[in-house]
Chains A and B, each alone.
Chain A
């Protein structure tokens, strides 16, 4: 929540940013001119038909893709990839099979300064404690020395969140992180992610297909049109935190869900013309 008279600084801003993959007759417009502004510490969910450019927005925000037109400003400067140290997590947890969970989670510390230059010195002490503190927070206390194949899908996804957060990024980008999990595991992970966000307060941009998930976690939900996507609707979600799974069945919450659903059904039915 921004304070009344000093609004929180902008974490990400897309101004008229569009992305077209390929050139000439092969050009695929993935994202139409999009404007989006996210304040520091906000939790924003992106929903929309599949293929509409949600992942493309995340890749813009992380500097993995440059906008074809317009600009992307992250933390007050134009995005230069490699300079951002953004935390990311995908549906596939991609833990490295030859390392313990603890060492997997410490991987970003091997790459990002200032941790990088201290890695050899602190990997058995301070960094390890840092990893284990995060593991404890996501309910994986004592699993640090296990290998990835010894953990279930839900546990791996918790570890994935830890890896995305270990270097204390100010921006966390999540691309359908819970898409492959069963309903109960997913709901468990919502609470865990909410807890992580409430303690670490990074800016979060979450792509999801699950409208209940968006409503449970986000402070703002952006609905996108079919490809090439643009933002059709921007809802703020005011339910008090910490939210519970029971809240997702209350009338207000269900009404929000219905509204979003109608918007997406509409967007799917009316594909956009050209770029």
Chain B
């Protein structure tokens, strides 16, 4: 029963996407829209297939910068999140600075990074990192800080150390928060990498789009956009699947067994 509902929901979603492209195609055909302004989806897909061999190394480049930035961002986020999640004082002290940092529009730091490291891969990785670590920090800190006080009392009365409590309760409880934040962070890292590539790099999909745009190769610009959309969705889906597998217990309440 719920499976059928689920399937129907998915069918509707897929239908809407198809409808969107059909409407787009028809709109261009009927208004005689120039492909220098808005190419038809069919043209874009054709370009995508023709230019794929050229696009492929750039796709790899963008993915590599995204994943590098993501990995470093996660490492940094976990460390910071653990520090401020365990200690109330550290939390209160660091939070304003973190919020201040996270509210800087990240485009603004790209020129600074270019100044320091030149254009290319390094600023892209660092931009990805600087955008994606924040959701990890927040989620790790929240997960660690939500241990029930009663359980803490039970364990402390047994003589448990702070580390015992962290290891047996805090960390496992944080896992669902952590994996939920991974899928958000990977999307952010992707945005950061593309952003930096667009402004300051000669490789990556962002740069391909920039170059194509200055050559008025509009179908290629849109092909790049489609590649980005596809990659973004793929990254999100991969990390959602990982989340579902690793932290099933957090969502399992829904399928209560009948007894």
Q: Which residues of A contact B (CB under 8 A)?
A: 59, 62-64, 81-90, 92, 94, 96-98, 107-108, 110-112, 147, 149-150, 163-164, 167, 173
Contacts and interface: CB of A to CB of B under 8 A. Distances in A.
15 contacts: A62-B156, A64-B156, A85-B158, A85-B159, A88-B153, A89-B154, A92-B148, A96-B169, A97-B250, A98-B249, A108-B158, A110-B164, A112-B159, A150-B256, A164-B154
Given A81-B156, A111-B158, A112-B159, 14 more contacts: A59-B153, A62-B157, A83-B159, A90-B154, A92-B150, A96-B169, A96-B172, A98-B250, A111-B155, A147-B252, A149-B252, A149-B256, A150-B259, A167-B158
Interface in B166-195: 168-169, 172-173, 175
B253 interface: yes
B160 interface: yes
Contacts of B252: 147, 149
A41 B18 CA distance: 74
A246 to B, nearest CB: 31
Contacts of B157: 62-64, 81, 84-88, 173
Nearest to A107: B168
A164 B158 CA distance: 10
Contact of B150 (A63, A90, A110, A112): A90
Nearest to A92: B150
Contacts of B173: 96, 98
Contacts of A97: 249-250, 253
A87 B153 CA distance: 10
B23 interface: no
B95 to A, nearest CB: 24
Contacts of A87: 157-158
A111 B150 contact: no
A131 to B, nearest CB: 16
**What are the 7 closest A-B residue pairs judged by CB atoms, nearest first?**
A94-B151, A62-B157, A82-B159, A98-B249, A90-B150, A86-B157, A111-B160
B257 interface: yes
Contact of B153 (A90, A107, A110, A150): A90
B169 A111 contact: no
Interface size class of B (residues with CB under 8 A): 20 to 34
Interface in B203-229: none
A86 B158 CA distance: 5
A149 B259 CA distance: 13
B153 to A, nearest CB: 6
Contact of A82 (B156, B168, B259): B156
Nearest to A163: B154
Contacts of B175: 98
Contact of B154 (A94, A98, A150): A94
Contacts of A62: 153, 156-157
Interface string B243-259: 00000011011001101
A256 to B, nearest CB: 30
Nearest to B254: A149
A163 B257 CA distance: 24
Contacts of A84: 157, 159
Nearest to B147: A94
A142 to B, nearest CB: 12
A83 B164 CA distance: 15
A108 B159 CA distance: 10
Nearest to B148: A94
Contact of B168 (A110, A112, A163, A164): A110
A173 B169 CA distance: 21
A84 B257 CA distance: 40
A38 to B, nearest CB: 16
A28 B160 CA distance: 28
A138 B117 CA distance: 67
A81 B159 CA distance: 7
A85 B249 CA distance: 29
A107 to B, nearest CB: 7
Contacts of B259: 150
B158 A149 contact: no
Interface string B67-90: 000000000000000000000000
Which of B148, B161, B175, B259 counts the most A-chain CB atoms under 10 A from its CB?
B148
Contacts of A98: 172-173, 175, 249-250
Interface in B106-154: 148, 150-151, 153-154
